[in-house]
Amino acid sequence: MSAITGIFNILATPFTPDGEVDSNSLRHLVDFQLALGAYGLTILGVLGEAAKLSVYERTHVMQTVVEQVNGRVPIVVGTSHPDTATCVRLSKSALEGGATGVMVALPPLNEPSEAQIFAYYEELAAHVKGTIVVQDYPKVNNVTLSAAVIARIANEIPTARHLKLEDPPLMEKVRAIRAQTEHIAIFGGLGGMFLLEELHAGTGGTMTGFAFTEVLVAVYQAYSSGDMVRATEIFDQYLPLIRYENQPEINLTIRKELLYRRGAMAHAGLRVPFRPIDRGTHDEITWVLQRVGITDPTQIITF
């Protein structure tokens, strides 16, 4: 269908201690994720703190990442915005700037009908001439997309045939969508917690920010080659870390701390508002790393 397949890392946005975008760390983080084997990068998603950035900063992050990647892997840019005109402008800028596709969630609406949901993506596709990844994440916009409307979007809007799915129960929804259309590539998320089951249900990969991308890549490659035993062994070994990192409210704080410990960026800070982690959580991170066999997080895990 396109180059958007496999394991995409949702890139964190590094900040300096005073809260500015850290461009040097951003460039280093890009190279770090590619060294881990990421099939592509998704930038300015929810866990890229896009909502905390100005339009100018979002454009700067996009341009920096596209320049640093330099065509090595596909890039999907999150362009969701409460104002549709701004979303269109960001989307056009991303695609014209070298992105492979844009990821868009419906803006918060008051119980929109399925006709309204379809019309939103139909209008977006009329203005944005490029690949659209539909983002289904009700926790963020309080809008739930049914399997039927997702299938209709895929069947009737040729440029909107990719889905970022984070609406549990994930595997049941994957199967429901698959029963209604073949014209869609589905990607999971939620920190990679259900990657193995998602692949088994029919996804084409995942888009998530788990700090040990090489683990997810190894699971995906083993599964894709037909080695379910090996895929399961790898997934199960690192599942305690995947689970621990994806704690509600502090998942990004933990993820950035792990990326900092891995040497991927100079500072672990988030832009306000965010939930800090206490000393006990810092100690637990060390404990969980040890439990899964990671003694030196700066080293790339080989399989």
One-character DSSP codes across 123-169? HHHHH--SEEEEEE-HHHHS-PPPHHHHHHHHHH-TT--EEEE--SS
Distance, in Å, from the CA atom of 292 to the CA atom of 123, rounded to the nearest integer, reads 47
CB atoms within 10 A of CB 65: 24
Residue 63: name the closest of 90, 32, 39, 97 by CA.
97
- Total number of domains constituting the chain: 1
Quick check: is 281 in a domain? no
Please tell me the predicted confidence (pLDDT) of residue 140. Answer: 86
Quick check: is 252 in a domain? no
Domain containing 201 equals 6-236
Task: Give the dihedral of Cα atoms 240, 245, 248, 254; nearest 10 deg.
Answer: 150
Q: How many helices (H) and strands (E) does the chain have?
A: 12, 8
Q: What is the pLDDT of residues 143-199, one digit of tens each?
A: 999 999 999 999 999 999 999 999 999 999 999 999 999 999 999 999 999 999 999
Quick check: is 140 in a domain? yes
Q: What is the pLDDT of residues 57-102, one digit of tens each?
A: 999 999 999 999 999 999 999 999 999 999 999 999 999 999 999 9
In this model, does residue 39 exceed pLDDT 80? yes
Cis status, amide bond into 108, omega within 30 of 0: no
Quick check: is 299 in a domain? no
Please tell me the predicted confidence (pLDDT) of residue 2. Answer: 53
Quick check: is 268 in a domain? no
Quick check: is 265 in a domain? no
Quick check: is 139 in a domain? yes
Distance, in Å, from the CA atom of 15 to the CA atom of 146, rounded to the nearest integer, reads 37
Tell me whether residue 9 is exposed, middle or buried, using C-beta atoms within 10 angstroms of its C-beta: 0 to 12, 13 to 18, 19 or more: buried
Please tell me the predicted confidence (pLDDT) of residue 43. Answer: 98
Quick check: is 30 in a domain? yes
Residue with tokens 């891995």: 262
Q: What is the pLDDT of residues 271-281, one digit of tens each?
A: 999 999 999 99
What is the domain-level CATH number for residue 43?
Answer: 3.20.20.70
pLDDT mean across residues, the chain: 96
Assign 201 a pLDDT band (cuts: 50, 70, 90). Answer: very high
